[in-house]
Amino acid sequence: MFSAFFIQAAVSPGRQRVFRWLVLSHLVAVFGCVWILSHVPRNGPLITGCVLLTAGIVEGAMVIGWRLTQIPKSQALEFLLVTPMRPGGVLIAEAIVGLSRLALVTLSGLPVLVLLVDWGYLECVDVALVLVMPFTWGAITGLCLTAWAYESATVRRWAERAMLGLTTIYLVVGLLAGEHLADWLKGLPANVGELIIESVQAFHRYNPFAVVACWMVQDPFNAWERAAAVQGVALGILGLLLGRAALRNARPLPGAALFACARSQAGQVARARGSTAVLVGRAARDAVLRTRQPVVRGRFRHQLRCLHDCRSALARVARAKCFPDI
């Protein structure tokens, strides 16, 4: 069943065009790193690692995040209507296809990196880092955008308020306190200040850019433990995001209510008579039409017109007795 998703991704002209564009952009970034290594020998490896990590994050958002967030409002429902997989399985299959395409984009720069190792600009272990780390965090970025898009409006609203509050506190405290912040936090009771300081220091040491900087500037054998710890946490976050997105996709969201009803009643379209409620169900029709999203309502009405036209065409075929079994 998963092979059908790979076949569809391979034959789609739009996805082929995006894939070629991403591979070309990735190669441009890699050749830019070659120029940096040849002209800035001292900080060249550090800049190269950060550039490739940033490119991987952007590519993951485009290859995985953009595709998966379009599934509930996609008008190409024919492929989804005939598959026996549930909505959560469809999202997991599409995520696997996206991860595979992201891996191909990341590996497209491997020949150039091997040449850099042969020329003495990089070490073999550096190639492993600049391939694995961008791929992992690009996948996390894409699945994070997907999970965020599938969350309810209440969760997203409160998360936005929390992030805005934390950003405001960080900027205000950083500007007002400055270097005196550590002394102020140490005055808090029950070692709360030390806990906050250690948390901030851990965040600055165990983020992907800090790991890349430590790996490229210092000895890689002294930084491999930190890199392994960050990668382990990243894989755990990756699994949680994928499971959360699949779980949310399996629930009857307003944007996917038409898909769920059409899938359950697709076999009754030829025999349907009467109003819209007969075609898609009264509860689903009311749920979609009451939504505050005009795009969802417009697409719902468009799909209803398509279903009515299909019903009329099948009825004419049955009356013409071209297919007596209908």
232 assigned to some structural domain: yes
For residue 320, pLDDT over 80 is answered with no
Residues 69, 192: one domain? no
Average pLDDT for residues 80-90, to the nearest whole number?
70
Q: Are residues 172 and 56 in the same domain?
A: no
pTM of the model: 0.72
Q: What is the pLDDT of residues 219-250, one digit of tens each?
A: 788 888 899 999 999 999 999 999 998 888 76
Mean per-residue pLDDT for 162-181? 75
Please indicate, yes or no, if residue 325 is contained in any of the structural domains.
no
Q: How far apart are CA 309 and CA 76, in angstroms?
A: 17
**For position 232, what pLDDT does the model report?**
94
pLDDT in tens, 134-170: 999 999 999 999 999 888 888 889 999 999 988 887 7
The confidence band for 306, taking pLDDT boundaries of 50, 70 and 90, is: low
Residues 6+ apart with CB under 8 A from 87: 249, 250, 256, 259, 260
Q: Kindly report the CA angle at 242 between 68 and 300, in degrees rounded to 5?
A: 35
**Is the same domain home to 127 and 102?**
yes
Quick check: is 157 in a domain? Answer: no
Please report whether residue 123 resides in a domain. Answer: yes
Q: Are 217 and 138 in the same domain? A: yes
The whole-number pLDDT of residue 6 equals: 86
For residue 89, is pLDDT > 50? yes
155 part of a folded domain? no
Residue 200 has a pLDDT of 76
> Residue 113 in contact with residue 37, Cβ under 8 Å?
no
Q: How far is Cα 147 from Cα 251, in angstroms, rounded to an integer? A: 13
Q: Residue range 304-310: average pLDDT? A: 64
The answer to whether 62 touches 102, Cβ cutoff 8 Å, is: no
Say how many domains are in the chain. Answer: 3
pLDDT at 184 over 50: yes
For the chain, give the number of residues: 326
pLDDT computed for residue 115 by the predictor = 93
Mean pLDDT of 45-54: 93
State which of 137, 170, 203 marks the end of a domain: 203
Question: C-alpha distances in angstroms, 50 versus 47, 141, 176, 211, 310?
Answer: 5, 16, 30, 10, 54
pLDDT digit string, tens, across residues 31-41? 999 999 988 88
With vertex at residue 274, the alpha carbon angle to CA 272 and CA 277, rounded to the nearest 5 degrees, is 85
Decide which of 152 and 179 is more confident: 152
Do residues 181 and 78 share a domain? no
How large is the average pLDDT for residues 89-97? 88
Q: 274 and 194, same structural domain?
A: no
- Selection from 153, 123, 140 nearest residue 49 by Cα: 123
Q: Are residues 84 and 106 in the same domain?
A: yes
Let me know whether 10 and 96 are in one domain.
Answer: yes
Name which of 148, 141, 6 is nearest 64 in CA terms: 141
Question: Do residues 54 and 102 both lie within one domain?
Answer: yes
Residue 98 pLDDT greater than 70, yes or no: yes
pLDDT, mean of residues 90-98? 89
Both 192 and 98 in one domain: the answer is no
Contacts of 275 (CB under 8 A, 6+ apart): none
d(CA 102, CA 59): 7
pLDDT at residue number 11: 85
In terms of domains, do 30 and 91 share one? yes
| Tokens read off for 207 | 């983020």
Domain holding 178, by residue range, is 162-203
| 304 and 173 within one domain | no
- Indicate the average pLDDT of the chain: 77
Per the domain annotation, does 326 fall within a domain? no
Whole-number pLDDT of residue 258:
44
* pLDDT for res 150: 86
Domain presence at residue 261? yes
For residue 156, tell me if it sits in a domain: no
